[in-house]
Amino acid sequence: MVVLLGLATLTLASGLVGIAVTSVWPTQVSTQSYAATVRLSAEPDQLSTLHAPTLFGDLDLRFDGVLPAPGVNAVARVQDRITSVLATRDLSVSALKPTPAEIDDAVATTITQVGGKFAGGVLLTCVLVAFATRHWRSRDEPLRPWRRAVAIPALSLLLALTGTAGAAWSTFRPDRLESVGADGLLGYVRSNTAILADVEARSAQAQPYVKNMLALSAALQDKFVPAELATPASVKILLVSDIHGANAYPLMKQIVETEGITAVVDTGDLVNFGRVQEAEAAGLFTGIRSLGVPYLFVRGNHDAASPTDDALVERMTQVPGVVVLEPRRHAYTLATVGGLRIGGFNDPRWFGDTGGGPATQVPAAEAFGEAMRELRAGRATTAQESSTRGATASPSGGTPAPSTSSAVPGSTGASSSGAPPDSSSVAAAASSAAAADAERGLDVLVTHEPAAAEVSGDAGIRLHGHMHSTALQGNRIQIGTFTGGGVVSHYIQGADGAELAGQPYAFDVLSFGGDCRLQTLTRYSYRDLLEGRPVYDDVRAINGRAIQSPLPSTGRVCRADAPVTLQDVRATTPDTSATPTP
């Protein structure tokens, strides 16, 4: 045991010394227009991460390796010669980007020199320990044999070098990319790659050094981001929550148009005090209607004033474009949007409810689960599905009553990235795959409170809000507050009487490929909404393969202009225990 402990300690210590050597003696790499200082990092938050700090924000590429690898810290700067390049008339961003060959040469130099310095540090440590082991003795003891003195250091040397090299080789690969994060100006640019073209269109006003950083950021992402993540999404779902009475729908409309959003999912707490009058006065219903895409909604604990109050839900069903996923108690509407099957249930609590806490959500989740099981078994009461083209439907009313069926109103959708299949065999395969997945459960489940999402299964992605902060656990996505908690609860008291600080604003975008698989979850946070000048300050794109589970069956087809359908479902024996108690 002592020998193993010594071996582990020396392996770790020699590895840390090797990393320290690369930091004290960093490696310089360069391309024609850029240079970078590269060193390894053992900081816990930078393990398995390529960290590229710049004057205009930090770019972080985080990888999901089998073993944690030392982080790579690359501080980029511009070469002096770029000044002559910038003088070129009508210079484009693409012209500033390092070529793939330059990036490959820089990577090769980094591997050779950084790896050599790391190995040198490890070797020096192990040699010193071997020397000390041989000579560390009392005055009367003979010297230890070299074979005994070098045994553990030699094994530690082997483990440190092979273990670190193996971890780095298996981690820093495009297929192991977990997320791409950026903040500052780079975060704003990363939020929409189309801004690169926008900068080019206004090159006369753009500062040259801004183009430098955009070009370098784009080159790094071209090198390390897998091709499937760079493929244009077929369906985009905007996730919002906890609006709390603040009319930020002009901003939401801008996001819908800029990002090409297919539908919006709202996980509840539209208002503060559960009153329809509050939403009317703030113009929320008009704002929702203006979005022009389906708006899927579940009630939050602030969206009712009493245990029997359904006024806000009923009013939402009258808004063109809105689909309330539980329009009546234990009666559910399943929506198929862009080929994705989406369902959910309301929070049974109300504003001022202080009893039961999260436990009151469990019966509601169980009632919904029972309805879905009865649907799959053919025992649920269902209305006939009907559909309309998501790209051409015009506003014509709200969610239908449970005994009827209707097309989604107000659906304008987003432009499709693929044409409808023209092969009957492909269409049949897609229909068969969709039917098989429907037997397994939903593509997306929507609720308000974490406890409800936690106990709800049978969905590839689970969504909830309520906590006013973003989080991710498996396929359970916690959505932050779109309006910082609204104007009523936006500001919170700081510690020790400090000034009031605003809660962070946040929203997410789910991007699905044509095979209905989640490409990315892009998480945005921003500030200064109340001042009327929102600014993105953090954007993080997370690889969808690490979230969606189970994955859709092979053969599924998703398109933004696919028919939008509604199916009303009611369990034949609803669980009455799900009804909240006063």
Domain definitions of the chain by residue range: 2-225, 229-572
Whether the per-residue pLDDT at 457 is higher than 60: the answer is: yes
Q: Is 239 left (phi over 0), alpha (psi -120 to 50) or beta?
A: beta
Place of tokens 């070529």: 99
pLDDT tens for 70-88 read 999 888 776 665 555 555 5
Name which of 214-223, 229-238, 385-394, 456-465 the model is least confident about. Answer: 385-394
Query: What local confidence, expressed as pLDDT, does residue 202 receive?
Result: 36
> Cβ distance 401 to 578 under 8 Å?
no
Q: Report d(CA 412, CA 233) in Å as an integer.
A: 17
pLDDT of residue 289: 95
The structure tokens 């202080």 sit at 354
Q: Which amino acid is at 8?
A: A
pLDDT in tens, 132-190: 877 775 555 666 676 777 888 899 999 999 999 999 988 888 878 887 766 544 444 44
Averaged pLDDT score across all residues of the chain: 79
How many whole angstroms separate alpha carbon 74 and alpha carbon 37? Answer: 6
CATH code, residues 229-572? 3.60.21
Residue in the block written with tokens 């999912």? 265
- Decide: helix, strand or coil at residue 489: helix
Q: Which pLDDT belongs to residue 302? A: 93
Whole-angstrom distance, CA of residue 228 vs CA of residue 222:
12
Between CA 362 and CA 368 the distance in angstroms is 10
**pLDDT, tens digit, for every residue of 125-134?**
999 988 887 7
Task: For 238-277, give one letter per residue: b (16+ CB within 10 A) or e.
Answer: bbbbbbbbbbbbebbbebbeebbbbbbbbbbbbbbbbbbe
Mean pLDDT computed over 200-220 = 49
* Angle, in degrees to the nearest 10, between helices 208-224 and 100-135: 70
- Overall average pLDDT of the 341-369 stretch: 86
- The candidate with the shortest Cα–Cα distance to 117, out of 36, 24, 22, is 22
When pLDDT is cut at 50, 70 and 90, the band that residue 399 belongs to is: very low
Q: Return the bridge partners of 491, or none.
A: 502
Q: How far apart are CA 308 and CA 364, in angstroms?
A: 15
CA–CA separation, 91 and 89 (whole Å): 5
pLDDT at res. 189: 45
Of 45 and 183, more confident: 45
Residue 203 has pLDDT above 50, yes or no: no
Query: Three-state SS for 139?
Result: coil
pLDDT at 417: 44
In this structure, are residues 261 and 255 in contact, taking their beta carbons and an 8 Å threshold? yes
pLDDT in tens, 467-522: 999 999 999 999 999 988 887 776 665 555 555 567 788 999 999 999 999 999 98
- The whole-number average pLDDT for the span 419-443 is 78
Q: Which of 9, 63, 123, 21 is nearest to 542 (CA)?
A: 63
Query: Residue 411 above 50 pLDDT?
Result: no
**Amino acid identity, position 410:** G
What local confidence, expressed as pLDDT, does residue 36 receive? Answer: 84
Look-up: residue for tokens 């053969």? 555
In this predicted structure, which of 24-33, 108-117, 334-343 has the lowest mean pLDDT? Answer: 24-33
**Model pLDDT for residues 274-313, shown as the tens digit of each residue:** 999 999 988 999 999 999 999 999 999 999 999 899 999 9
Residue 87: how many CA atoms within 13 Å on its side-chain side?
5
**Once rounded to an integer, what is the mean pLDDT over residues 201-220?**
50
pLDDT at 582: 30
Residue pair 275/315 in contact by the 8 Å Cβ criterion: no
